[in-house]
Chain A
Amino acid sequence: MDGKKPQGRAAGRIKVLVCIKQVRDPEAPLVLREDGSVDLESGASRFMNRFDEFAIEEALGMKDAGLAECVHAVTVGPERSGQAIRRAMEMGADSGTRIDFPGDFSSGPWPVSGLLAGFARKGSYDLILTGVISEDDMQGAVGQMTAEILGIPCAASVVLAELDPGKGTLYVEREIESGRRECLELALPALIAVQSGINRPRYPSLSNVLRAGKEKINTADPEEFGIIPAREILVGMNRPGSTRDPVFLDGRTREKAARLWDILHERSLI
């Protein structure tokens, strides 16, 4: 669909977009209401999806190496999710946009992918990065669907990426089972969903924090890109059951330690 060569490449430098999601701390307690819905807005800290930190770091690494001309960050979410964009800018992204959207959890992958694709199309990016999975929804789908809506190639679970802006290609290694890697070359523009371990995400430097503090986060209206409705209907939520018969030890730390010895000893495991 969008096969035309973006301008960025003429200069031998490319434009990079990183898709970032703000997630609720997965360790925070989840409150399931009587009606089967879940209270997600109250009482938990939120941060940038940890897989997306690897995506932004990978993009910034390309910029540091002089291969990328600019790195933009985008998120689809409500006002609070601007914090994740702020964090990306503090790490070093040149600019950040939040596409205003209420449901950043459980809305299914279509609406979000559609908005990201619409935003990316307008900006003529040569390379788009996403995380391999979001820690809350765990779909592992938004990156691949965004690429397909744009009609560009993609690779997921990428653990190594080497850009050749001159040739207009990206060499990638993607992880498959048992730590083996599939190696391929993608023609730009392309999208990669990066896996943890591809790099070590940086901490924001003081100068970037100061710079980012002064810059504003752009807000975009979703209507600008056209919303693709969800094709999956959420019919209910519940707590998953157990696969074993778990016994919780009680008492003080000492007593639990003694009890654990007894249990293991009874079973000749110690």
Chain B
Amino acid sequence: MKTGGIIAVVAEHEDGKINRHTLEVTAFALMAGASSGMRTVVIIPGNGMTEAGRLISEESGADVVLLESPHLENYTSEGYKAALHEFLMEYVSGIVMVPHTQRGSEYAPGLAVRLGAACITGVNGMKSGNGMVFTRQAFNGKLEMQFRPAADFAVITVMPGAAKPEFCSSGPGSVAAVSSDIELKATRYLGVKKSGAEDSGIENADVIVSAGRGIGGVENIGLITGLAGLFDRSAVGCSRIVCDRGWMEYGRQIGITGKTVSPKLYIACGISGAVQHLAGMSGSGFIVAVNRDPEAPIFKHSDVCVVEDLNGFLPEFIEEIRKRRAG
């Protein structure tokens, strides 16, 4: 028989350790639980996660379910969807919170279909009161939208930083193991390949001058390297599009699928400020953005905003630095 409602957090882990993003989502879930009276359960798909499960139950106070199967040894979308669906069908309703990572955002929408659930991806906040409302961004971060789930289940993927991983637990939650008898029918897992990107040294730089699509073409990269050259311990970085177009090598890509950097100074040139890029550089000490679109989302995450065309501004700024240093 089905039991009541639940808030389920699906943990993401690597090498036996649960990642920080999962802790954030757990804190987010506990907040939602506190306002709605629902119990939070952290589900850990995989094997050999007993110790990690005990740790998170102690730290957060949430109950933990170890969802085990030989087919969950490695992440596959098919395996996760099948096992989570099987487990969650024990409940009449629920909110399933998945870290918005490359894996989470792959299986969560399919899981929503299996559950007949609302599907809200990239959630960065929540308002509760008259039911739960989740916020997410659209148009590259120019717009924030609020959605309310309208089904018994909701599957949401939660962005990094939606909650601080801080807990006020009144004692450890329970830890239970459940074995799942799923099979993989259409997927064969063949392993993980390391990144082939060469080391560009950007992770250790004090100053990064970074180029986006707004640079216009490979012929203008000289403006970026020229500006970077005027700073000590500096490096050149870029957005994904710049790598896709072959204007710079992959080792310089900053963001969720590239490098994470936190220099003292980050100068973003012609970068719009997509969430996937911000994820790799928002920890920088001081951020300067140059962009001709006054509404560019990067400006919301910068200390100094320069609304200018790069081709006009960068030569002028380079000239200014030379002049001040000379004089």
Q: List residues of chain A with CB under 8 Å of any chain B CB.
A: 24, 26-27, 29-30, 32, 38, 105-106, 108-110, 113, 135-142, 144-145, 147-149, 152-157, 171, 173-187, 190, 195-197, 200, 230-249, 253-254, 256-258, 260-261, 263-265, 267, 269-270
A175-B102, A249-B306, A253-B313 provided; 14 other pairs, C-beta below 8 A? A32-B143, A109-B109, A109-B121, A148-B114, A178-B258, A180-B192, A182-B189, A183-B190, A234-B146, A239-B144, A247-B303, A261-B320, A261-B321, A270-B230
User: How far is A138 from B316 in the complex, measured between Cα atoms in Å?
Assistant: 36
Q: Closest residue to B318 on the A side, CB-wise?
A: A257
The number of chain B residues touching the other chain, given as a range, is: 35 or more
Do residues A183 and B122 form an inter-chain contact, with CB atoms below 8 A? Answer: no
Given A197-B243, A241-B300, the answer on whether A231 and B187 have CB atoms closer than 8 Å is no
User: How far is A149 from B112 in the complex, measured between Cα atoms in Å?
Assistant: 10
A79 to chain B, nearest CB (A): 22
Q: Closest residue to B147 on the A side, CB-wise?
A: A232
B46-54, B56-64, B249-257: which one contacts chain A?
B249-257
Q: Which 10 A-B pairs have the closest CB atoms?
A: A179-B195, A148-B113, A141-B109, A148-B110, A144-B109, A153-B186, A183-B190, A231-B118, A197-B244, A185-B188
Contact with A along B135-159 (1 / 0, CB 8 A): 0111111111111111100100000
Do residues A269 and B117 form an inter-chain contact, with CB atoms below 8 A? Answer: no
A188 to chain B, nearest CB (A): 9
Given A136-B138, A144-B109, A187-B186, the answer on whether A253 and B312 have CB atoms closer than 8 Å is yes
Partner of A247, one of B137, B240, B305, B319: B305
Given A177-B101, A243-B282, the answer on whether A38 and B306 have CB atoms closer than 8 Å is no
User: How far is A251 from B69 in the complex, measured between Cα atoms in Å?
Assistant: 64
B2-10, B27-35, B71-79: which one contacts chain A?
B71-79
Q: Closest residue to B144 on the A side, CB-wise?
A: A240
Chain B residues with Cβ below 8 Å from A239 are: 142-144
A156 to chain B, nearest CB (A): 4
User: How far is A182 from B195 in the complex, measured between Cα atoms in Å?
Assistant: 11
User: How far is A139 from B134 in the complex, measured between Cα atoms in Å?
Assistant: 14
Chain A residues with Cβ below 8 Å from B106 are: 144, 154-157, 174
Chain A residues with Cβ below 8 Å from B138 are: 105-106, 136-138
User: How far is A248 from B304 in the complex, measured between Cα atoms in Å?
Assistant: 6
Chain A residues with Cβ below 8 Å from B187 are: 153, 184-187
Do residues B151 and A231 form an inter-chain contact, with CB atoms below 8 A? Answer: yes
Chain A residues with Cβ below 8 Å from B319 are: 257
Chain B residues with Cβ below 8 Å from A139 are: 109, 119, 121-122
Partner of B146, one of A147, A236, A243: A236
B88-96, B172-180, B287-295: which one contacts chain A?
B287-295
Q: Closest residue to A171 on the B side, CB-wise?
A: B190
Chain B residues with Cβ below 8 Å from A113 are: 113
Given A153-B187, A184-B190, A261-B321, the answer on whether A144 and B110 have CB atoms closer than 8 Å is yes
9 A/B residue pairs, CB under 8 Å, sorted by A: A140-B105, A148-B81, A179-B250, A180-B194, A182-B75, A196-B241, A232-B120, A242-B299, A260-B306
The listed residue with most A CB atoms (<10 A of its CB), out of B75, B145, B275, B286, is B145
